[in-house]
Amino acid sequence: MQTLSENRCFGGMQGVYKHGSNACECDMTFGLYLPPQAALGPVPILWYLSGLTCTHENAMVKAGVQAHAAAHGMAVVFPDTSPRGDGVTDDEAYDLGQGAGFYVNATQEPWAPNFSMWDYVANELPLLLEAHFPVDAARQTITGHSMGGHGALTLAMGLPGRFASASAFAPIANPSASDWGRKQLAAYLGPDESVWADHDSTILMRTKGFDGPVLVDQGSEDQFLDLLKPQVLAEAMAARRQEGSFRMQKGYDHSYFFVSSFMGDHVAFHARALGLS
């Protein structure tokens, strides 16, 4: 593993690291914030999954999470959103290929050799973090924005017992019924829509739910509301009687201004689930 940068931040350390990934068969880059409490022993993990076109860097720089994480003593992991590199398949469209991994394991050509983002986030990267950094893999929480909100919710429901809590900012809530989803799930997983169900948070909420609290924030002025379909996830949460909250935030859009405005709420929510506050 190669250290690309390390910067002091709110008493802790914001690092960026690169390593060879077996899951994605290429080099992968991730950010990791370690709070000052990590100097005393392993700290719990908050995963932050980013959205379309993002790298590990967008949320690391724009989401304003480090100050809140330092206050509660939580590490924050910022994975990339897809495999990358000259040998990795890409597409001319912004919403497919590099920068648009959708947190699935692709089974279809030409994507299958590299696009195994589910395995990377669920299996490979957690083991790497535990081996090299003072983090407590027994205490994990997860959040994300847009495509990353989709990933956070589907990973949380797809890995029972892994995460103490799950949250999302403007998630792609029903991708199997949206143009942000049908295109990508068909490309990566093939035409059998029954296979897509494990990667649709609304379907998972209806059929399985989550064994902890859930927090979803959605901006009322989000320019992508028709693609995100938040109302069906809210209805599924209500029908499931899911522990948690769905909040429509008046006047907010899809940007990191929205994410950073409510990041403190989300970190505090996860801290409560972990028993840190």
Q: What is the pLDDT of residues 69-123, one digit of tens each?
A: 999 999 999 999 999 999 999 999 999 999 999 999 999 999 999 999 999 999 9
| DSSP helix/strand/coil, 78 | strand
The contacts found for 118-121 with CB under 8 angstroms, 24 or more apart, are 118/155, 119/23, 120/21, 120/23, 120/24, 120/28, 120/79, 121/47, 121/49, 121/79, 121/151, 121/155
Q: What is the DSSP letter of 90?
A: -
Is 81 within 8 Å of 99 (Cβ atoms)? yes
pLDDT band of residue 277 (cuts 50, 70, 90) is confident
Classify 191 as helix, strand or coil: coil
- Count of CB atoms within 10 A of residue 103's CB? 25
- For the chain, the 3-state helix, strand and coil shares in percent, each to the nearest 5, are 35, 25, 35
Q: Look up 211 and say whether it is catalytic.
A: no
| Per-residue model confidence (pLDDT) at position 100 | 98
- Domain span holding position 238: 2-273
**Catalytic (active site) residue 165:** no
The answer to whether 224 touches 254, Cβ cutoff 8 Å, is yes
Report the SS3 class of residue 63: coil
Of 82, 201, 222, 266, the active-site residue reads 222
Residue 3 has pLDDT above 90, yes or no: yes
pLDDT at 38 exceeding the cut of 80: yes
Residue tagged active-site, from 21, 82, 116, 146: 146
CA separation for the pair 87, 152 (Å, rounded): 28
Q: Which two tokens stand for residue 81?
A: 């959103």
Q: What is the CATH number of the domain that holds 76?
A: 3.40.50.1820
User: Catalytic: which of 199, 254, 266, 270?
Assistant: 254
- Work out how many domains the chain is built from and give that number: 1
Q: What mean pLDDT comes out for the span 162-183? A: 97
Would the pLDDT of 234 be above 90?
yes
Stretch 215-224: mean pLDDT: 98
Residue 146 annotated to the active site: yes
